Structure 1
Amino acid sequence: MDWGSILNNTLAGLLTPTTLAFALAALGLAMHFGFAGLLNFGIAGFMAVGAYGYAISVLTFGLPWWAGMIAGVAASVVFALIMGIPTLRLRGDYLAIVTIAAAEILRLLFLTTAFEPVTGSADGLFGYNNKGGFSAANPFPSGTYGIGPWTYNSETLWTLTFGLIVLAFAALLLWSLMRSPWGRVIKGIREDEDAVRALGKNVFAYKMQALIIGGVFGALGGIVLATSTNVSPGVYVTSLTFFLWTALLLGGAATIFGPIVGSVIFWVLQAFLTNVLPALATSGILPVSGIQAATLRYVLVGIGLMLLVIYRPQGIFGDKREMTFVR
């Protein structure tokens, strides 16, 4: 096996647009579940709304890239309101079922041929970064930048820079919110919403605000992902939500930097398994084909998630006392 190539490809997973998009969406889950106690299994839907809102605004309505991104964020707010108004009075498993169903309904709407002129159906949307001017806004001259496995062309470097700026802003905003009186109320709702309601607080309104803020983070993750690849309904499937939950629980749900670190670790492991498992199959160590070995990583991710929830549900940086599902 070519361990040098495997190591190089694994280290490259430390910093990619996908890693940044995952970190943003995982921050949204931290807002929903870690701090507010909302069991949201539809975060992929928020990512899809952000990405499609950006792409459709540029391609169909001719908006510039920055206005299209604002439209994508606004669309996530509308989606949160539509989903939250009838469902936020539900708790636990019931809320999880509704949110995962809402995200799947949304994906099927983007997939259907009824709206193909706008959504592109199964083919998705592409070309919006050029038409909207995102690519033209690249401040880096053409060329290659970086060193070793972290070598990027100017387009990728611009996408990474933009994603890092958005991620830093989102992390700072969430940190500030959780240190504020509003954040203390949100944590109180997570612990005992009946007690908070007895203090005269409008629990439903606070939950809705938390759902909107976390949804905006998820939409920003979808937008960052859309700056590096085409928008397609095949990306925003249910498995994406479970990958994000894995990244969240790995780093720590009720933390700020835990979801970011968890996303990085998750994608480094994904890059490692994607390269090493087919190599093991080719060498005859694994008694499966290369394609079967590549898909084996999903089995390992599932097993890892189960072990994580059982033995360290608080994650790397989390506090077990703040995890509502272990009580």
Structure 2
Amino acid sequence: MDEFLRILTQSLAELIAPTTAAYAIAAIGLNLHFGYTGLLNMGQAGFMLLGAYGFGIATIAGAPFFLAVLVALVAGLLFALVLGIPTLQLRGDYLAIVTISAAEIIRWIGRSTWLQEWTGGASGLQGRNYKGTFQDLSPLPDGRTAIGPLEYINTGSDSWWTRLFAWGVVALALLFVFLITRSPWGRVLKGIREDEDAVRALGKNVYSYKLQSLALGGMLGALGGVLYVLPITIAPDAMGRTMTFFVWTVLLLGGAATVFGPVLGAMIFFGAYMFMRTGMRALSENTGVGEIISTTNVEQIGGMLVGITLMLLVIFRPQGILGNKKELAFNVR
């Protein structure tokens, strides 16, 4: 019973973890791309990694926290322009190819030795070098605070301050998306998703709207990268293809073209993922299952189950938990 309560507590903690908030922000950005505009961005991890590097490098260079966040947003914007300007006049699957390739290029550049002075190479950037400006903003007193079964330090890497800030940013992003998607601009995006030829016939510059959507969603992805590295280090290999697949799973689970879907998807996915991993570890350590599933194989099995979950979602519930199946009448070009 105590072991089961421990597993439940760890799963509950994952629901409000900064990492979960970071994925929620990235999925909100991807929702602008795919859910509202129909753009197939398969490289959201590239935006997140660029945002993380922009924030970390700017902070280490002496920039205050909010200026470093602005640098991260500009990095996401420039990456979107570099990807979008040559590809958005082509069919949508070209964007998918370009984005997944570009994200891998960013990861390999980050881990290369020729920019190691700035990026830290394969080892990345240590958190102690860039977290100070963020932690100095904390209004919370020193010490620890327990809320129910959860207890963390008030200020630090894995702290209440990090959680409060991360989920506050998620709330602001939700409000932003809620407002813009219900504006005339947002209605044009939905029209592009469903039939861009009809929107073009009405005199709208479809290319311009697609580029704006890619830029805004990319900047949200970069902001997600900032939140992701606040409690940890910046490691390029931790922000690769798997991260993009997780963001897609979060979006499809919660529901594309919905405002709250990415947040619900992130909380359910990472809560269930933690429950599954800790549960398998407990079974492996305390029962005979360890002869079949060792603790070293838990992560690999978890990755397999994520892939299976993504396939089942696409086949049986493509609209997700909150989504409307009619919203998925995409005419992606």
**C-alpha deviations, 1:51-87, integer Å up to 9, x for none?**
110001111x311111111111111111111111111
| Structure 1 residue aligned with 2:48 | 47
Residues 1:94 and 2:94 are matched in the alignment: yes
* TM-score, normalisation: structure 2: 0.94
| Structure 2 residue aligned with 1:266 | 269
| Structure 1 residue aligned with 2:76 | 76
| Structure 1 residue aligned with 2:106 | 106
The one-letter code of the counterpart of 2:87 is T
Residues 1:308 and 2:309 are matched in the alignment: no
Shift of 1:325: 5.5
Residues 1:67 and 2:67 are matched in the alignment: yes
Shift of 1:171: 0.6
Partner of 1:85, secondary structure, is helix
| Structure 2 residue aligned with 1:284 | 288
Shift of 1:289: 1.4
**C-alpha deviations, 1:137-190, integer Å up to 9, x for none?**
111111112323432211211111111221111110100000000000000000
Residues 1:197 and 2:200 are matched in the alignment: yes
**C-alpha deviations, 1:118-148, integer Å up to 9, x for none?**
11111111224345x2111111111112323
**C-alpha deviations, 1:194-234, integer Å up to 9, x for none?**
11111111101000000011011111111111211111101
Moved more, 287-296 or 265-274: 287-296
Give distance in 2, aligned partners of 1:288 and 1:135: 40
| Structure 2 residue aligned with 1:241 | 244
Misfit runs of 4+, over 6 Å: none
Give distance in 2, aligned partners of 1:279 and 1:314: 34
The one-letter code of the counterpart of 1:296 is I
The one-letter code of the counterpart of 2:23 is F
Partner of 1:151, secondary structure, is strand
Give distance in 2, aligned partners of 1:141 and 1:264: 28
| Structure 1 residue aligned with 2:188 | 185
Give distance in 2, aligned partners of 1:130 and 1:314: 38
Question: What are the equivalent positions in structure 2 for 1:14-29 lying under 5 Å apart?
Answer: 14-29=15-30
Give distance in 1, aligned partners of 2:85 and 2:146: 47
Where do 5+ consecutive residues of structure 1 fail to align? none
Partner of 1:163, secondary structure, is helix
The one-letter code of the counterpart of 1:64 is P
Partner of 2:135, secondary structure, is coil
1:130 to 1:8, Cα distance in 2 relative to 1, 3 A: closer
The one-letter code of the counterpart of 2:63 is L
Contact 1:65 1:129 in 2 (8 A): no
Partner of 1:94, secondary structure, is helix
1:294 to 1:102, Cα distance in 2 relative to 1, 3 A: closer
* TM-score, normalisation: structure 1: 0.96
Partner of 1:166, secondary structure, is helix
Give distance in 2, aligned partners of 1:317 and 1:96: 25
Shift of 1:326: 9.8
| Structure 2 residue aligned with 1:5 | 6
| Structure 2 residue aligned with 1:318 | 323
The one-letter code of the counterpart of 1:317 is L
| Structure 2 residue aligned with 1:255 | 258
Contact 1:249 1:314 in 2 (8 A): yes
Partner of 1:234, secondary structure, is helix
Shift of 1:261: 0.3
Give distance in 2, aligned partners of 1:238 and 1:244: 10
RMSD (Å) for aligned C-alpha atoms: 1.6
Contact 2:7 2:279 in 1 (8 A): yes
1:174 corresponds, among 174, 177, 182, to 177
1:296 corresponds, among 292, 301, 307, to 301
Contact 1:15 1:150 in 2 (8 A): no
Contact 2:22 2:225 in 1 (8 A): yes
Give distance in 1, aligned partners of 2:281 and 2:230: 29
Give distance in 1, aligned partners of 2:90 and 2:4: 50
Contact 1:53 1:68 in 2 (8 A): yes
Contact 2:11 2:274 in 1 (8 A): yes
The one-letter code of the counterpart of 2:256 is A
1:267 to 1:284, Cα distance in 2 relative to 1, 3 A: same
Contact 1:278 1:291 in 2 (8 A): no
The one-letter code of the counterpart of 1:87 is T
Give distance in 2, aligned partners of 1:149 and 1:92: 47
Give distance in 1, aligned partners of 2:114 and 2:167: 36
| Structure 2 residue aligned with 1:143 | 143
